[in-house]
Chain A
Amino acid sequence: MAEPQSPTRRELFELLGAGVVFDITLEAAGQPILATRLHFAPDGKVTLLTGKVELGQGSRTLLTQCVAEELGIQVEQVQVVMGDTARVPDDGGTFASLTTPLTVPVVRHAAAAAREMLKTVKPEEAMLREIPVKAEVRRPQEWTVLGTSVKHVRGRDIVTGRLKFAGDLKAPGMLIGKVIRPEAYAAELASFDGSATERIPNVKVVRAGNFLGVAAPDESTAERAAGLIRAEWRPRELIQPPALYEHFKKTSAPPVANFNTRYPPLLEEGRVTEGLKQAAKRHEATYTLPSIAHAPIEPRAALAYWDEKGLTVFTGAQAPFGVRKQLAGTFNIPESQVRVIAVDTGSAFGGKHGPEVALEAAYLAKETGKPVRVTWSREEEFVRSYCRPAGIIEVRSGISAEGRIVAWDFHNYHSGPASLRAPYAIPNFCCAYHRAESPMRHGPYRSLAAVANTFAREAHVDELAELAGRDSVEFRLQNVAEARLREAIQRAAERFGWGRRRTAAGMACNIEKGGHMALFVELEPKGKSVRLLRMVMAFDCGAALNPDYLKNEITGALIMGMGGALFEELKYDRYKVLNGSFGRYRVPRFSDTPEMEVILIDRRDIAPAGAGESPITVVAPAIANALFRATGARRRSLPLAPDA
Chain B
Amino acid sequence: MSRYQLHVNGRIHEIEAEPSTPLLQVLRDQLDLTGAKAGCGEGVCGACTVLVGGRAVRSCITPISEVKGRPVLTIEGLEKDGKLHPVQAAFLDTSAFQCGFCTPGMILEAVALLGRFPKPSEQKIREEMEGHICRCGTYPRIVEAVRLAAKGGRRG
Asked whether, in the complex, the Cβ of B99 is within 8 Å of the Cβ of A581, the reply is no
Within 8 Å CB of A219, what residues of B? Answer: 25, 29
Asked whether, in the complex, the Cβ of A587 is within 8 Å of the Cβ of B133, the reply is yes
Asked whether, in the complex, the Cβ of A549 is within 8 Å of the Cβ of B95, the reply is yes
Asked whether, in the complex, the Cβ of B75 is within 8 Å of the Cβ of A161, the reply is yes
Given A58-B98, A549-B95, A587-B133, check contact A161 B74 (CB 8 Å). Answer: yes
In the bound assembly, the distance between CA atoms of A346 and B101 in angstroms comes to: 5
Closest to A581 in B: B42
B51 located at the interface, meaning its Cβ lies under 8 Å from any Cβ of chain A in the complex: no
Q: From A168, A553, A588, A591, give the contact of B98 (CB < 8 A).
A: A553
Stretch of A91-99, A123-131, A470-478, A554-562 contacting B (4+ beta carbons < 8 Å):
A554-562
Given A295-B135, A596-B140, check contact A346 B44 (CB 8 Å). Answer: no
In the bound assembly, the distance between CA atoms of A296 and B102 in angstroms comes to: 11
B150 located at the interface, meaning its Cβ lies under 8 Å from any Cβ of chain A in the complex: no
Chain A proximity mask over B39-68: 1 for CB below 8 Å, otherwise 0 = 111101101000000000000000000000
Asked whether, in the complex, the Cβ of A555 is within 8 Å of the Cβ of B140, the reply is yes
In the bound assembly, the distance between CA atoms of A280 and B126 in angstroms comes to: 50
Closest to B76 in A: A161
A27 located at the interface, meaning its Cβ lies under 8 Å from any Cβ of chain B in the complex: no
Asked whether, in the complex, the Cβ of B99 is within 8 Å of the Cβ of A345, the reply is yes
A419 located at the interface, meaning its Cβ lies under 8 Å from any Cβ of chain B in the complex: no
Given A170-B32, A590-B130, check contact A152 B97 (CB 8 Å). Answer: yes
Within 8 Å CB of A590, what residues of B? Answer: 125-127, 129-130, 132, 139, 142-143
Within 8 Å CB of A589, what residues of B? Answer: 130, 132-133, 139
Within 8 Å CB of B137, what residues of A? Answer: 555-560, 588, 593
Given A159-B107, A160-B75, A378-B39, check contact A57 B98 (CB 8 Å). Answer: yes
Chain B proximity mask over A364-405: 1 for CB below 8 Å, otherwise 0 = 000000000001011100000000000000000000000000
* Contacts of B106-123 to chain A: CB distance below 8 A: 107
B7 located at the interface, meaning its Cβ lies under 8 Å from any Cβ of chain A in the complex: no
In the assembled complex, how far is the CB of residue A131 from the closest CB belonging to chain B, in whole angstroms? 34
Asked whether, in the complex, the Cβ of A299 is within 8 Å of the Cβ of B38, the reply is yes
Asked whether, in the complex, the Cβ of A159 is within 8 Å of the Cβ of B88, the reply is yes
Within 8 Å CB of B91, what residues of A? Answer: 159
Asked whether, in the complex, the Cβ of A583 is within 8 Å of the Cβ of B135, the reply is no
A236 located at the interface, meaning its Cβ lies under 8 Å from any Cβ of chain B in the complex: no
Given A582-B133, A591-B130, check contact A56 B141 (CB 8 Å). Answer: no
Within 8 Å CB of A591, what residues of B? Answer: 126-127, 130
Within 8 Å CB of B140, what residues of A? Answer: 555, 593, 596
In the assembled complex, how far is the CB of residue A164 from the closest CB belonging to chain B, in whole angstroms? 7
Within 8 Å CB of A559, what residues of B? Answer: 137, 139
Asked whether, in the complex, the Cβ of B41 is within 8 Å of the Cβ of A378, the reply is yes
In the assembled complex, how far is the CB of residue B8 from the closest CB belonging to chain A, in whole angstroms? 13
Asked whether, in the complex, the Cβ of B135 is within 8 Å of the Cβ of A548, the reply is no
A234 located at the interface, meaning its Cβ lies under 8 Å from any Cβ of chain B in the complex: no
In the assembled complex, how far is the CB of residue A616 from the closest CB belonging to chain B, in whole angstroms? 10
In the assembled complex, how far is the CB of residue A308 from the closest CB belonging to chain B, in whole angstroms? 28
In the assembled complex, how far is the CB of residue B9 from the closest CB belonging to chain A, in whole angstroms? 11
Asked whether, in the complex, the Cβ of A297 is within 8 Å of the Cβ of B99, the reply is yes
Asked whether, in the complex, the Cβ of A155 is within 8 Å of the Cβ of B95, the reply is yes
Asked whether, in the complex, the Cβ of A548 is within 8 Å of the Cβ of B100, the reply is no
In the bound assembly, the distance between CA atoms of A569 and B141 in angstroms comes to: 27
A165 located at the interface, meaning its Cβ lies under 8 Å from any Cβ of chain B in the complex: yes
A163 located at the interface, meaning its Cβ lies under 8 Å from any Cβ of chain B in the complex: yes
Within 8 Å CB of B100, what residues of A? Answer: 56, 152, 154, 157-158, 163, 344, 346
Q: 29 interchain pairs (CB within 8 A)?
A: A55-B99, A56-B97, A56-B98, A158-B100, A158-B103, A159-B75, A159-B92, A161-B33, A346-B37, A346-B102, A349-B135, A552-B98, A556-B98, A556-B136, A556-B137, A560-B135, A581-B42, A581-B44, A582-B39, A582-B42, A582-B133, A583-B42, A583-B44, A587-B133, A590-B126, A590-B142, A590-B143, A591-B127, A593-B140
Q: With contacts A56-B97, A559-B137, A593-B140 known, what are 8 further pairs, Cβ within 8 A?
A: A56-B99, A158-B97, A160-B78, A558-B137, A581-B40, A583-B40, A591-B126, A591-B130
Question: Which 5 residue pairs of A and B lie closest in terms of their CB atoms, listed nearest first?
Answer: A161-B35, A56-B99, A346-B101, A559-B137, A158-B100
